Amino acid sequence: MSRSYLSLGSNLGNREENLTHAIRMLEDVEQIRVEKTSSIYQTEPVGYSNQPDFLNMVVRIDTELSPEQLLDETQKIESELGRVRALRFGPRTMDVDIILFENEKRKDEKLTIPHPRMWERAFVMIPLLEIFENTSNEVFECETVRLYSDIHSGSNRGKLSEKPENK
C-alpha cells in the first residue's frame, strides 16, 4: 500500500461539484482509498491569467496502484469530467496532479514525481500543509515541506545564509 497526495483543481462549470465528483470517482476505484481531504481554496489562475479563479484542494490517498497506473486513473477522471485540453495552463473542469507518491522519484515527461512545480504553487503547498498539520507522524514530507515553508515565510528557521560565492 502506498501513500500519495493529489492536487485537484477546477475553474469551469460548477467547480465545487466537480471537486466532489472527482473525489467520488477516486473512491470508486477499487485500489484507491481517499484518506484525507484539505479545505477548498479559491485561487487566482497561474500562467494564463485571463480565465476564472480556480477552486483547489489536496487529497491524501492510499493505493495499491503503481504511480503510472495511478496517473492512468487520474487522467480517466479528468477526461470523464469533460476536460478539454485546448490550452496548457488554460481553463479546465478538472486537473488532477500527482504531487507525492511515497518516496518515489520519476523524471519522465509523462510522469514527474514529486510534481516539478509543486514548490512554487501556493494552491498546492497550502492545502498540502493543511493536511500535514492535522496529522502526526507524516515525518518525511512534513520535515521537507515545513522547512520550505519556514524559509519562504521569512522565519529565522531553515536556511541560514545565502550560498557562499564560489571563490
Question: Which residues are the active-site residues?
Answer: 83, 92, 95, 97
Ranges of beta strands (E only) in the chain are 2-10, 32-37, 41-43, 54-63, 95-101, 106-107, 112-113
Tell me the closest approach of the beta carbon of residue 133 to ligand ADP, in angstroms.
23
Q: What pairs with residue 7 in β-bridges?
A: 58, 97
Q: Which one of residues 20, 27, 89, 133 is an interface residue with ligand ADP (CB under 6 A)?
A: 89
Q: Which one of residues 2, 31, 112, 144 is an interface residue with ligand ADP (CB under 6 A)?
A: 112
Q: Is 60 in the site for ligand ADP (CB under 6 A)?
A: no
Q: Which one of residues 6, 38, 56, 97 is an interface residue with Mg ion (CB under 5 A)?
A: 97
Tell me the closest approach of the beta carbon of residue 163 to ligand ADP, in angstroms.
28
Please calculate the CA angle 163-112-96 and round it to the nearest 5 degrees: 115
Please tell me the count of residues contacting Mg ion according to CB under 5 A: 2
Of 143, 95, 103, give the one whose Cα is nearest residue 121: 95
